[in-house]
Structure 1
Amino acid sequence: MLRVGLTGGIASGKSTVSALLAEHGAVVIDSDVLAREVVAAGTPGLADVLVAFGPGVLS
């Protein structure tokens, strides 16, 4: 199985390339989506962030 990692700056086309690969049957794992899910409101991940850095990190 070929594994491809897409990297680049803001607006460099990563999402466009990911969408094209997905259209051709590739499995796309979006680390931005995973990161948002891990620290979503009410999650243990967010609780850990608050313990480590304090509530001021949210403002």
Structure 2
Amino acid sequence: MDEPSVSDQVGKALDGFYQNYIIDTVNGSFQVFQSFTYGEMVISFLLAAIFLLLLLKWVFEVVR
């Protein structure tokens, strides 16, 4: 019996961890990964909020 190679095992493990789906477009297709945890979503939301606030602050200073 041949055991699967390490790269095959890693590929299987990643397929199980990363939930993904493929989106077909006119120019081809791309793969979207969907595996954010709640912590990652909170961090990304906070970073986006900080970026937006800094951008609005900059716009306000330029206009003023």
TM-score (norm 2): 0.28
Q: Which has the larger strand fraction?
A: 2
Larger Rg: 2
Question: Per chain length, whose mean CA-contact separation is higher, i.e. which structure has more relative contact order (CA < 8 Å, sep 6+)?
Answer: 2
TM-score (norm 1): 0.30
